[in-house]
């Protein structure tokens, strides 16, 4: 019975750490209405699920924003300094618009140490603000801006969250921690219990 209690407790601890290590990306505002041709709009790329001025912190991200170029025209973007001062502590390797010009690539890497990133980052913060010009609108029609998260890297514990080509059309994506962490934990529990009872 004692062994069963230990296994249940260990499983709870492992699954809770996985839940806490998940990142969520989304755009704010999630919906904009009453737009007319010529209007300038902006969307803020947000992240949540990190430690609040404590591990874990985000050190890099590579995200594509896809949109309908017949409705929206990309004009510019600006980065926030939560990964460090851009051009000094953090470097912008964004590719801009892709070849067919209906997706914007944002790719930023920080060179700060994990402790420095922890001191900079709350659990939720803005990564970038993206600006568009409305080209055309039709009454009652909507157009999505979707996210593809290629990579979001966390230097505080060395984990890399990777969703290759995972497009979420509602502009919200959740990046889970690697399942290998869970299975590694289960293997360790099995080894410890086996050693104790052999």
Q: Are residues 56 and 103 in the same domain?
A: yes
pLDDT tens digits, 117-155: 999 999 999 999 999 998 877 666 677 888 878 777 765
Peptide bond into 56 cis (omega under 30): yes
- Dihedrals φ, ψ of 134, to 5°? -80, 120
Tell me the CATH number at 49: 2.60.40.680
CA distance 106 to 95: 7
User: Which residues on adjacent β-strands are paired with residue 131?
Assistant: 42, 76
Q: Are residues 141 and 190 in the same domain?
A: no
Q: Are residues 97 and 188 in the same domain?
A: no
Q: Are residues 99 and 53 in the same domain?
A: yes
Identify the CA nearest to 55 among candidates 104, 117, 102, 100. 117
Q: How many domains does the chain have?
A: 2
pLDDT tens digits, 42-70: 999 999 888 899 988 889 998 888 888 88
Q: Are residues 153 and 96 in the same domain?
A: yes
CA distance 45 to 127: 6
Q: Are residues 147 and 55 in the same domain?
A: yes
Q: Are residues 141 and 169 in the same domain?
A: yes
pLDDT tens digits, 89-120: 999 999 888 766 778 999 999 999 989 999 99
Residues 6 or more apart whose CB falls under 8 angstroms from that of 20 comprise 49
Domain hosting residue 141, numbered range? 24-176
Q: Are residues 131 and 142 in the same domain?
A: yes
Task: Report the Cα 141 to chain-centroid distance in Å.
Answer: 28
User: Which 8-state DSSP code applies to residue 144?
Assistant: -
pLDDT for res 11: 44
Could you tell me how many helices (H) and strands (E) the chain has, helices first? 3, 12
Q: Are residues 53 and 142 in the same domain?
A: yes
Q: Are residues 58 and 131 in the same domain?
A: yes
More confident residue, 166 or 121: 121
């Amino acid at each position: 019975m004692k062994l069963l209690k230990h296994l249940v407790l260990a499983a709870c601890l492992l699954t809770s750490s996985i839940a806490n290590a998940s990142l969520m990306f989304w755009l704010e505002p999630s919906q904009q209405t009453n737009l007319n041709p010529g209007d300038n709009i902006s969307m803020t790329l947000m992240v949540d699920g990190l430690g609040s001025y404590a591990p874990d912190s985000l050190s890099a991200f590579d995200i594509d924003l896809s949109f309908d170029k017949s409705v929206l025209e990309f004009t510019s973007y600006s980065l926030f300094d939560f990964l460090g001062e851009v051009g000094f502590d953090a470097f912008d390797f964004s590719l801009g618009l892709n070849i067919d010009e209906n997706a914007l690539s944002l790719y930023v890497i920080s060179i700060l140490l994990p402790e420095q990133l922890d001191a900079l980052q709350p659990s939720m913060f803005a990564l970038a603000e993206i600006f568009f010009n409305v080209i055309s609108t039709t009454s009652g029609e909507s157009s999505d801006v979707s996210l593809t998260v290629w990579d979001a890297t966390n230097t505080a514990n060395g984990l890399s969250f990777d969703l290759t080509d995972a497009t979420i059309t509602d502009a919200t994506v959740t990046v889970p921690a690697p399942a290998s962490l869970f299975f590694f934990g289960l293997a360790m529990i099995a080894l410890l219990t086996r050693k104790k009872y052999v």
